[in-house]
Structure 1
Amino acid sequence: MSLLVVGVSHRSAPVSVLERVSLPTDSQTELLRDTLAAEPATEAAVLATCNRIELYADVDKFHAGVAELSTLLARHSGVGLDELTPYLYVHYEDRAVHHLFSVACGLDSMVVGEGQILGQIKDALALGQDLHTAGRLLNDLFQQALRVGKRAHSETGIDHAGQSLVTFGLEQLAAGKAVEAWAKDSGALVIGAGSMSSLAAATLARIGVKEIVVANRTPARAERLVQILGQPGPARVAARAVPMDDLGAELARADIVVSCTGSTGLVLGADAVEAALRGRTAPQALLDLAMPRDIDAAVHQLGGVRFVDIESLAEASADAPMAADVDQVRTIVSDEVAAFGAAQRAAHITPTVVALRAMAAEVVSSEIARLDGRLPDLDDKQRAEVTRTVRRVVDKLLHAPTVRVKQLAGEPGGAGYADALRELFDLDPQTVAAVSRADLNDTDGVGRGRV
């Protein structure tokens, strides 16, 4: 089986395409189930963020896998395959590993070095584990990606460039001014109460706004976020929750508006923003971090509004200088890809080695039984000593070659050693497969909560 990823991101497609491809959690669940039901795939995981949708799978056929995964992405996103195909990218085997590790380090993010992607990778793994679509390969891959991302942030200065998308967006709104000075004593409205909206609220509190109003379709979630914002600490801020029905009134009072909901339609139309502006004398800043968009792009034509969305952030980030530590992170990624590949190749031969040792144990048991028939006068002590001696001989004969074959299998091109071992010792393929299945079942859900 082989690792394959088919995806679309801000690097391959315009925002107008990305917002149509965006998948809510329910759609991700159906996508994973349908992927596992497809013939080429035995494992699947989906990584969905505001600027990428990537489908990872363990497949037995490359071309069939690409065709099936592309078709599934098109079907579940509602974008026609012919329209979507030019924007899709494909990575296979080591290139797929390299891609995910780069994503985990923030190298492929709209804002290079941002750390929020680690939480999104963790969520992708958790969904695959909960649905039992992530098996040994994808569990190992995503767990290692999380470790690689953490290593990059701890061993390099990539964090210095690693603003969140929220911070980057607020800097664009501030238009060259210091964000803290620009936001000081402003009133802020946050629409949504998910992870990105919570990050936005925390960032606004940190930079010194005087009040944060949280509007969300589920009042309880808005109230929880307000409670967090009101907890004692240096970033404590006055906060209150309001129902979505009060959005118009709150919009008129807010100096800064950040919206990031899971809505599939517009949350703020240009007419609503225009109506809110009639009661204002000060300009208003709007930041739309949702995918698909929450705020009508037509608001940028209104006077008294500064508007930033994912599309404008993508354009701004393309001109941003790369961090000096990027090369160091790339080296970490390359080293980790090589180590992951070696570990996977070595693990591939383990069931064959286990089957070989099981066969050797059966031969020993069979020969000891024959010896009992030929030498019935042996007492228990003598029989036990003979048995131990034969087992020691067999273990010593097998030790060096099995250790060496694991080492060789971990090197590039080492996949053939398992086949050679099975051929040389005439091992039953079904026995080897049974060992693999048992090993996989024993590690179902491996790594939950470890990182």
Structure 2
Amino acid sequence: MAGLGITGPAAVLLVGLSFRSAPVPVLEKASVSPAELNRLERDLVGGDCVTEALILSTCNRMEFYVATSAFHPALDHVVDTIAAHAQMDAVELEPYLYVRYADAAAEHMLTVAAGLDSMVVGEQQVIGQLRNAYTSASENGVVGAALHDLTQRALHTGKRVHTETRVDEAGSSMVSFALDHALAELGVEDMTGRDAVVVGAGAMASLASTYLGRSGVRHVTVVNRTVARAENLAAHAREAGVDADAVGLDELTSALRGADVVVSATGAVGTVLSHDDVVATQTERPRRMVLVDLSMPRDIDDAVVDAGAEVRLLNIEELTALAGDGARDESAARDIVATELAEYLEQVRVQSVVPTVKALRRRAADVVDDELGQLVRRTPGMADDDRAEVARTVRRVVDKLLHAPTVQVKKLSSQDGTVNYAEALAALFNLPSGSTSVVSQSIEPGDAGKARIGNVLQQDTGAGQVPAAGAADSTSSTNSTISTAGTEEAS
């Protein structure tokens, strides 16, 4: 596809917003439906400076990863693309955004995949969500080497964390976290003798159905726009020993009769469960009823709480408050992330000198060919066998002379990220421009104000900071206020 031929290695830029940095209404505007995802991915690589793109979308996280060799225009392009999608002015959106770049972007993705940046620490769903994001972008033709390598490393890291540590036991998935609080609202320890409705038939709805079954629910009604998908989920529930049936979305009001817990997790745009729906069922049978909204945009109208004193709504904002920061023992998991990050960055640094090494060897080959050509002209009487032997000798000499510096530049690059050995090699041998990365990966945070991100105070330090205007490219940018507030994830 156009744009994937950028010269030199690209760095990863992350622009994101989450429940930590943005209110739910803003997250809802920026959320991406499955129907919009492919188009938005292509829009992200539409700029000359962006060569790859991947969008991680969850119920309270929107993160846009791109590969670029020109930081400032890439940042402008990504922010403008997000703003256009969200139908917001860029200046209105920017205060809610955080930016990670190069090493910091890599560390962030690994931390997210490990479940350590989640609303509920240790949840595993984000691994599947990241895998789906990669699959979508790959099938859409917008993933290249940079995002492929980073995503695969992140998925591997997440798997290691959940296999080798007990961080899962410290937290839980957003579904179980939410339903635990739903049971608390009902004043019971389990769902024995109680009924539930699950709206939706995707992964979140499936998890909710499974959790309700384990909690001893008496009956589950699965409601979905496509009845066949609802029936498929209900069939799985029955196979697990849970009494379940399936109905279409047009029968939602009827399905609510008698339900003690309602979990909604759809990909719908707009309200699925209204105030009138709940009023109807409460009028027929007043009771304690807990509604759990795990979707973004929200499925359940906030006004349902006015349907009766016994109606309780748990949505993303409420669950965020309930989750809190929750100090947990995460040291083993974070050690794994640190180890994997170090190995990944070493791999990236080695790869960053490859174009320069290739350029050096091409330069040497050109010099050899030129000299051998002159030899042919100057020695017309030399036998072909002799010329061939001279050519082999010259090439061996050049190869031996280049062997040590090319091996050493890779070794030194892997050990030291503070010196750009590729640039040094290119300067020493006067290699053509474009044979090294044009992206600066270590910029002081105080310089950030010269770029579009305005007066941002980066949370990360050293490598991964936002480049000063002109440090990574020559494009000047407008001055605004993108925040680098923390991050999140849950469903």
| 2:95 paired residue number | 86
| 2:315 paired residue number | 309
Letter in 2 for 1:404: Q
CA offsets, 1:397-426, max 9 Å, x none? Answer: 222211110112234446632233233334
Q: Does 1:252 align with 2:261?
A: no
Q: Does 1:183 align with 2:191?
A: yes
Segment drifting more, 38-47 vs 185-194? 38-47
| 1:57 paired residue number | 66
Question: Which of 234, 242, 251 is residue 247 of structure 2 equivalent to?
Answer: 242
Matches of 2:228 and 2:362, distance apart in 1: 58
Matches of 2:256 and 2:352, distance apart in 1: 58
Secondary structure of the corresponding residue to residue 119 of structure 1: helix
CA apart distance, 1:47? 1.0
| 1:224 paired residue number | 232
Matched-pair contact (CA < 8 Å) for 2:29–2:86: yes
| 2:29 paired residue number | 20
Segment drifting more, 17-26 vs 262-271? 17-26
| 2:41 paired residue number | 32
Superposition TM-score, scaled by structure 2 size: 0.79
Q: Does 1:77 align with 2:123?
A: no
Q: Does 1:200 align with 2:208?
A: yes
Matches of 2:397 and 2:404, distance apart in 1: 12
Identical-pair percentage: 45
Matches of 2:186 and 2:393, distance apart in 1: 81
Matches of 1:109 and 1:425, distance apart in 2: 48
Number of equivalences: 426
Segment drifting more, 362-371 vs 54-63? 362-371
Task: Give the CA RMSD over aligned residues.
Answer: 2.7
Letter in 2 for 1:329: A
| 2:360 paired residue number | 356
Matches of 2:311 and 2:20, distance apart in 1: 28
Q: Does 1:395 align with 2:403?
A: no
Question: Structure 1 99/178 Cα, relative in aligned 2: closer, same or farther at 3 Å?
Answer: farther
| 1:140 paired residue number | 149
Secondary structure of the corresponding residue to residue 188 of structure 1: strand
CA apart distance, 1:359? 4.1
Letter in 2 for 1:401: P
Matched-pair contact (CA < 8 Å) for 1:148–1:336: yes
Segment drifting more, 277-286 vs 267-276? 277-286
| 2:305 paired residue number | 300
Which consecutive unaligned segments of at least 5 residues does structure 1 have? 434-451
After TM superposition, the structure 1 = structure 2 runs for residues 122-141 of structure 1, keeping only pairs within 5 Å, are 122-141=131-150
Matches of 2:186 and 2:335, distance apart in 1: 35
Matches of 1:111 and 1:59, distance apart in 2: 32
| 2:424 paired residue number | 420
Question: Structure 1 250/406 Cα, relative in aligned 2: closer, same or farther at 3 Å?
Answer: same
| 1:3 paired residue number | 12
Letter in 2 for 1:305: V
Letter in 2 for 1:227: A
Letter in 2 for 1:54: E
Question: Structure 1 328/364 Cα, relative in aligned 2: closer, same or farther at 3 Å?
Answer: same
Secondary structure of the corresponding residue to residue 6 of structure 1: strand
Letter in 1 for 2:109: L
Matches of 2:151 and 2:48, distance apart in 1: 23
Secondary structure of the corresponding residue to residue 224 of structure 1: helix
Q: Does 1:262 align with 2:270?
A: no
Matched-pair contact (CA < 8 Å) for 2:11–2:101: yes
CA offsets, 1:359-388, max 9 Å, x none? Answer: 4445556666666774967585x7766655
Matches of 1:82 and 1:361, distance apart in 2: 52
Segment drifting more, 45-54 vs 335-344? 335-344
Matched-pair contact (CA < 8 Å) for 1:355–1:432: no
| 2:113 paired residue number | 104
Matches of 1:293 and 1:230, distance apart in 2: 28
CA apart distance, 1:266? 0.9
CA offsets, 1:261-292, max 9 Å, x none? Answer: 11111111111111112232542221111111
Which consecutive unaligned segments of at least 5 residues does structure 2 have? 1-9, 438-491
After TM superposition, the structure 1 = structure 2 runs for residues 362-441 of structure 1, keeping only pairs within 5 Å, are 363-364=367-368, 374=379, 388-413=392-417, 416-429=420-433
Question: Structure 1 379/323 Cα, relative in aligned 2: closer, same or farther at 3 Å?
Answer: same
CA apart distance, 1:22? 1.9
CA offsets, 1:235-284, max 9 Å, x none? Answer: 33222211111111111132221101111111111111111122325422
Question: Structure 1 304/413 Cα, relative in aligned 2: closer, same or farther at 3 Å?
Answer: closer
Secondary structure of the corresponding residue to residue 299 of structure 2: coil
Matches of 2:40 and 2:186, distance apart in 1: 44
| 2:445 paired residue number | none
Matched-pair contact (CA < 8 Å) for 1:21–1:79: no
Superposition TM-score, scaled by structure 1 size: 0.86
Q: Does 1:161 align with 2:165?
A: no
Matches of 2:84 and 2:382, distance apart in 1: 74
Matches of 1:396 and 1:32, distance apart in 2: 46
Question: Which of 335, 343, 351 is residue 347 of structure 1 equivalent to?
Answer: 351
Question: Structure 1 63/379 Cα, relative in aligned 2: closer, same or farther at 3 Å?
Answer: closer
Q: Relative contact order (C-alpha < 8 Å, sep 6+): which is higher?
A: 2
Matched-pair contact (CA < 8 Å) for 1:115–1:162: no
Letter in 1 for 2:274: G
| 2:451 paired residue number | none
Q: Does 1:289 align with 2:298?
A: no
| 1:318 paired residue number | 324
Matches of 2:192 and 2:245, distance apart in 1: 18
CA offsets, 1:125-168, max 9 Å, x none? Answer: 11221222222111111111111111222222211123111100
Q: Does 1:149 align with 2:154?
A: no
CA offsets, 1:32-75, max 9 Å, x none? Answer: 22221123322221111100111112233433333332222121
